[in-house]
Amino acid sequence: MSDLVLRPRSATELIDAAFQIYQRAPLPFMVAMALIYLPWLGIRLLFKLDVPTGQTQLTAAMMTTLVVSSVAGVIIYCLAAGAGFVLARAVYLDEPVDVAAAFRVTFARFPKLLLATILEFVLAAIGFVFLFVPGIYVLIRFFAIRQAVMLEDAGPFAAFGRSSTLSNGQKWHIFGTLFLVMILLLVVDGGAAAVSSLLGSQVLAGVLMTAVVIVLYPLIVITETVLYFDTRIRNEGFDVEFLAAAPSAGVAPGLPA
């Protein structure tokens, strides 16, 4: 049993737990991210899909590049999140860590994962267009749709209901955790972007930003995974169920064997 005890945690404790999980098995996480983001970097450099910095006039070619990059970005985001969630669960619950198995599960559930993610993005975008607060509310209420798909094999629409249930009574807690994650991401990403702007080369800048994503993004995914389990502990007593099931079945309740 992991020494990362299953218990309710504050937002700062969730971040600390994410660091502990990452430190326990950093290589599988970085390998998984590298398998996704390095090929994408090669495609971007080969087909020159990055918009030149300082470009102010939007051309048809740039519009095409933006559309292709956006579509590919959503796909890559889902792949990275899916594999990351499976790996994070394995480390957190002291299960075997297998990168290949994580990708098999991700590919098997990818259509559902992609559809759920697109629907969430659309709802959040509508919320942000009309008022800022509804957009934030959408992200908080549906914080766990990808975890529900990947870790519970929920359908894309059922995942929204599942996330709504988990967020019930926990929205300020979820907001505080996601806010800390966003601050961490902005600080590191902003620093990397500042360094990239000094390199004077889009190739070097792309390599640097990709390296940052490979190293940093697992921490974001792990935090989201721990937050998902935290809401299950608070609302469903997952910690008690897990401890009760572990000796006899060896499988966490509600999780795929």
Give me 6's structure tokens.
Answer: 């299953």
Whether 6 maps to a domain, the answer reads no
Provide the domain limits for residue 244: 11-50+60-249
Q: Are 145 and 163 in contact (CB under 8 A)?
A: yes
Whether 2 maps to a domain, the answer reads no
Neighbours of 45 (CB within 10 A): 15
Q: Domains in the chain: how many in total? A: 1
pTM for the whole structure:
0.90
d(CA 214, CA 36): 9
- Tens digit of each residue's pLDDT (9 = 90 or more) over 165-202: 999 999 999 999 999 988 988 887 777 778 777 777 77
Whether 55 maps to a domain, the answer reads no
What confidence score (pLDDT) does residue 57 get? 65
- Tens digit of each residue's pLDDT (9 = 90 or more) over 11-49: 999 999 999 999 999 999 999 999 999 999 999 888 877
Query: Which of these, 109, 40, 53, lies nearest to 81 by C-alpha position?
Result: 109
**Residues whose CB is less than 8 angstroms from the CB of residue 157 and which lie 6 or more positions away in sequence, other chains included:** 116
The end-to-end CA distance of the chain, in Å, is: 17
Neighbours of 32 (CB within 10 A): 26
Give me 53's structure tokens.
Answer: 């910095």
3-state SS assignment for residue 155: coil
Confidence class of residue 54 from pLDDT cuts 50, 70 and 90?
A: low
Whether 255 maps to a domain, the answer reads no
Helices 171-199/132-141 angle, 10° precision: 110
Whether 256 maps to a domain, the answer reads no
Q: Are 21 and 88 in contact (CB under 8 A)?
A: yes
Whether 257 maps to a domain, the answer reads no
